[in-house]
A and B are shown apart, each in its own frame.
Chain A
């Protein structure tokens, strides 16, 4: 009696959600292999994953979407984790890698076992895996593009870089310098490393400010705009246009300035919700869709008019986020063709 009821109920559910394109992956299991969870960005990334995949599992799109994080942020540990996932019988592994190369052996092992591997943010170079990369170079270039529109006369720029030796820092900075080469009215008067942290950026900017001429704008990499603003205020120098990086404190400061004196800037960074985009891409691949191995994820840009809306959604001490849907993923997949 009970079983019959359950069967009937499941038939009813199946009829209520006619998911023709989704049916093929309803018995598939997807795992998230994450190397690090120690900052607000990663925490937001995991929360987004839980939220979006939780709904997807409930709706029967996939049967499981479990998140695993290694304890020590070490490549060898993550390689072991991936090998465990192979044993656990997952159909796809979504991967934020500790190293672009050191996991290749384990990734190859997974591919050979017929598992779809989609890497994002921290991508892997193994050819059998998919890569969802952020065009960091373009992100740097877009900052200069915005400034060129705002400051037709150009001027001196202060560049705040990220953590030295990390490829993201090189890529964003490369884009900024490319942009400056295209717009010769700008000149980079000084450059410091802010390590993507407000306190480090504030100290670094305060240190270099006395030696700098008048600064028209500050180009940043995210996580450093608020510290730069504080350093300018402490030195009693006029506040230049500071490009922000979607952190809550940056957006809050911008809002405050906007209300007080009509301060205008823009903010750009990657949304931690990119993990959910990777999830949908993996689901699409499992569904049999042909997907290019290299995809580019759009970055999240906040402008003067949508500042309030984004600030409201961003938790205290967090990062502005956007969670991707199946349609977003399909758009990204189609645009790569």
Chain B
């Protein structure tokens, strides 16, 4: 092969390709989607999912898994729909405290060598309980600025696409280009060597968790901006969606191998897969299965590519 692709680009190839194929299929099924409003309708609910996926990706960078992502985003949504519009200061304080709690979680998980799955699963009940306490019955009101932001109509390109690109670029710089990004990926790849090089692993893990919480907070606010009001169970799907998005986008569960651009594309692909199946008029009984089938196909393609990659290297 004359084409000289870096490993990272190869990893991005499959998610990008699957997104394009799906997009073409959706346009074919529903030509109406091929417009400014159409694209916005297709993708605007992907914005919070994308942010949650980025948050999950940051946790996965340090070899952990966050099973409380869905309930945490729901909790943030409840705070955003109750405190943020009326008492912005209290709301912001709660959200900052939540981010701090995440940092502490990361530190505790590291120091006590606890399995992150167990800790975050436990925390999911805490976040869920707090969400119900804040908003016992569905309701609340989205902050005006969040609503304005999510319904804004930038010229030429719809908000959902602009937001996805901005998220991809910003997180690419944080994770792939900044020294902090290198550090947390190093923690995921080889903790011991990073530690020997004189870095503080505790700070790195805490930082990764805090940054993840920050993106999850953005996800909750974006979600409320779209739905106008909240519900304590609003984002429960996000736990699995965010994990699937990272994996679909070329990330790995271990080893600090993640791709922010891939994660964004993965989240968009997942959202689009739902619309695609709906346009196909597949019966709901089959939809979960069909969604799973799309995931398996994409992952199988990736495995195939990984193998090719290894063979190339072996030469």
Contacts and interface: CB of A to CB of B under 8 A. Distances in A.
A77 B271 CA distance: 9
A138 interface: no
Contacts of A323: none
B231 A75 contact: yes
A108 B274 CA distance: 21
Highest count of chain A CB atoms <10 Å: which of B140, B226, B287: B226
B137 A83 contact: no
Given A66-B281, A71-B287, A87-B30, A104 B227 contact: yes
Interface in A68-117: 68-72, 74-77, 79-81, 83-84, 86-89, 99-106, 108-109, 113
Size range of the chain A interface in the assembly: 35 or more
B41 interface: yes
A98 to B, nearest CB: 8
A304 B238 CA distance: 50
B138 interface: yes
Given A71-B287, A87-B38, A102-B234, A77 B227 contact: no
Contacts of A74: 233, 236-237
Given A76-B235, A87-B30, A87-B33, A102 B42 contact: no
Contacts of B228: 101, 104-105, 108, 126
A225 B266 CA distance: 49
B215 to A, nearest CB: 17
A285 interface: no
B130 to A, nearest CB: 16
Contact of A76 (B33, B136, B234): B234
B32 interface: yes
Contacts of B288: 71-72
Contacts of A125: 139, 229
Nearest to B29: A88
A105 to B, nearest CB: 4
Contact of B139 (A84, A89, A101): A101
Given A104-B228, A105-B228, A89 B138 contact: no
Which of A71, A102, A165 gathers most chain B CB within 10 Å?
A: A102
B223 interface: yes
B275 interface: yes
Interface in B261-306: 271, 274-275, 278-279, 281, 284, 287-288, 291
B138 A100 contact: yes
A163 to B, nearest CB: 14
Interface of A is mostly: mixed
Interface string A125-138: 11000000000000
Contacts of B37: 113
A268 to B, nearest CB: 25
Most chain B beta-carbon neighbours within 10 Å: one of A69, A99, A100: A99
B65 interface: no
B284 A79 contact: no
Interface in A30-86: 37, 66, 68-72, 74-77, 79-81, 83-84, 86
A106 B291 CA distance: 22
Contacts of A72: 237, 288
A94 to B, nearest CB: 16
Q: Which of A37, A66, A79, A87 has the most CB of B within 10 A?
A: A87
Contacts of B231: 75, 99, 101-102
Interface string B198-238: 00000000000000000000000001011111110111111
A101 B227 contact: yes
A68 B271 contact: no
B40 to A, nearest CB: 9
A80 B33 CA distance: 14
A102 B281 CA distance: 24
Contacts of B94: none
Contacts of B101: none
B278 A68 contact: yes
B284 A104 contact: no
B30 A79 contact: no
B30 A71 contact: no
Contacts of B237: 72, 74, 76-77
B45 A79 contact: yes
B44 interface: yes
Interface string B219-261: 0000101111111011111100000000000000000000000
Contacts of B233: 74-75, 99
Interface of A: 37, 66, 68-72, 74-77, 79-81, 83-84, 86-89, 99-106, 108-109, 113, 125-126, 165, 167
14 contacts: A74-B237, A75-B227, A75-B233, A76-B238, A77-B274, A79-B227, A80-B274, A83-B41, A83-B42, A84-B278, A87-B38, A87-B279, A99-B234, A100-B139
Given A71-B287, A83-B42, A101-B230, 4 more contacts: A37-B284, A66-B281, A75-B231, A106-B226
